[in-house]
Amino acid sequence: MRDEAFSPQAFNAQTQKLRSAVQQGESLSTRRSGPLGQIFFCDGCCCGRSEKGFPPLPREMIKERWKSLKLNGTIQLTISGCLGPCDLANVFYLLGSDGVGQWFGGLSDPWHYETLIHWASECQQAGELLPIPAMLNAHRFTRFDSVPIAPQLCSLGDRKLHETA
C-alpha cells in the first residue's frame, strides 16, 4: 500500500470533515438512519461454506427478494464476512435502530431464510421493528457472556489504556 494514501490532504471532503469533527470533539451522527434495523448474514470462512460441509447461505435469493420487496429501507441487508462465532455457523446478527443487537446461529434450512424475508416484509408493512418470529427462538445465542469490567474495578486502576508498563 502506498504511503500517500494516508496523506490527510489526499482524503475526500467527507473524510476531511469527519477528521475535523473528531478532532474538535464533536459527536458523530449518520443521516442514514432511516431503516428500523440492519441484518447481517454471515458469509465468512464457515457460514455458507458448503465446500466445508456447512449449510449453504442462499445469498443471491436473499438479495433478490430483499431488492424485489424493497426491504432495504426497512431492514438494511448486509452480507458480511466472518462475524466471529463460527462454531455456530450459519449465523446472522440483527441490530435494531434502538441499538439492541440479537444473535442467531445454526441456520441450516431454507425456511429459516424464508421466515426472515417474511418477517422483514411484515416490519415494512407495520412500520416498526417486530420481534424475530418465535420459530427461530431456538437459534438465539448470546455473543458475549461476560459482564463488562467497570472502570473502577479494572486492575489497570487509573492508568490510561495506552500507557505501557
**Binding residues for ligand FES restricted to 6-45, rule: CB under 6 A:** 42, 44-45
Among 34, 73, 84, 133, binds ligand FES (CB under 6 A): 84
Q: Quick check: 82 binds ligand FES (CB under 6 A)?
A: yes
Let me know: does 92 contact 116? Beta carbons within 8 Å: yes
89 binds ligand FES (CB under 6 A): yes
* Cell matching residue 92: 446472522
Identify which range of 60-68, 83-91, 117-125, 155-163 contacts ligand FES by CB under 6 A. 83-91
Would you count residue 143 as binding ligand FES (CB under 6 A)?
Answer: no
Q: Do you find a cis peptide bond into 12, omega within 30 degrees of 0? A: no
Q: Does 132 bind ligand FES (CB under 6 A)?
A: no
Query: Chain centroid to CA 59: how far?
Result: 16
Q: At its nearest, how many Å lie between ligand FES and the CB of residue 106?
A: 11
* CA–CA gap between residue 93 and residue 140 (Å, rounded): 10
User: Dihedrals φ, ψ of 42, to 5°?
Assistant: -80, 130
